[in-house]
Amino acid sequence: MLEFIKSFKITYEIYNFFKKSALEHNLPLYQKYGLKKKYYSSVSSEDFKQTNGEQLIHDKLDSTQSLPEKEEFNSLDPDTQSRLLNWSKDGYAVLPTFYSSEEIEAFNQEVDDLIDSKKANWRYGRILFSIFQSKLLFDTGNAKRLTSILDLLMGKEVDLFQSLNFVNASQQKSHSDSIHMTTFPYGNLIAVWIALEDITLDNGPLHYYPGSHKLPYVMNGDYDNVGSKYRLGTKSYGDYENKVQEVIAGNDLQKKVFTAKKGDLLIWHANLLHGGEAIINKEMTRKSMVFHYYTKDAICYHEITQRPTLKSRSSSF
């Protein structure tokens, strides 16, 4: 019965009606793009079929040429510069030992404290929004040494939206973050993944497909999940995953597996296809932390449920 009720768009709209302060961020942008929507209205990629949105700078330009023109890029150390240069081509960048062992131990202790105090917000086997329970993790996600790199890659200022903490590997099938944290124009999201311990083939490392970010975004309409004026689509998340597998097979994409060292950092594009490998040794953890950032000038929503994104959060510190 609950799933039936949730299949109606009005269910979310009633809930959203009471979240005005967290949803008003979209209103000026609805006006900019000519959408006649309320702050609580359903929104999906179908609403933008006839609308042109500006591409991100490194989606339309070659980062090997455009990044060296930026003063911020030239202030970085040569190794970091070399690792960012192929952003346009690859859709990801690896920055090894970005965090020291001491910093990683502090992050792990903070997460352990949240778990022990039962403050951790567990959902689907991971901890959501630890940044709003820990000043240390909040400050880490907002640190200029990190966000300045993200601003550079996006060509505009980013805003920390979400954190995820994993104790064990997700083993999640390949997907694009843009199906969960969608933007218009597309691509106005960037993700950071931090290894909180050494990651081997045994404890379920990440995988990703270099260059996959340049493929068309897979949205509801691409796997017959648009729904109707009043109801959401009826396809399952498994149907989306199957569609992604078709895309991977149809484009001869080559998978990379990220066996990371503690403190390594991986940045990826909003549309980079990625997931988690199977856990071989069930006794091993795979501690990691993810930050997701929106840009400040994009409509933000969740494509599958067609819900506008709740952006304002309160902290407990």
CATH class of 2-308: mainly beta
Each residue's pLDDT tens digit, 290-311: 999 999 999 999 999 999 999 9
Report pLDDT digits (tens) over 28-77: 999 999 999 999 999 999 999 989 899 999 999 999 999 999 999 999 99
pLDDT in tens, 242-257: 999 999 999 999 999 9
DSSP 144-201: HHHHHHHHHHHTS-EEEEEEEEESS---PPSB-GGGTSEEESTT-EEEEEEESS---T
User: pLDDT for 179-212, tens place per residue?
Assistant: 999 999 999 999 999 999 999 999 999 999 999 9
Q: Is residue 134 a contact partner of residue 114, using CB atoms and an 8 Å limit?
A: yes
Decide if 7 contacts 271 (C-beta within 8 A).
Answer: no
Whole-number Å distance between alpha carbons of 181 and 170: 18
Q: Is the model's pLDDT at 152 over the cut of 80?
A: yes
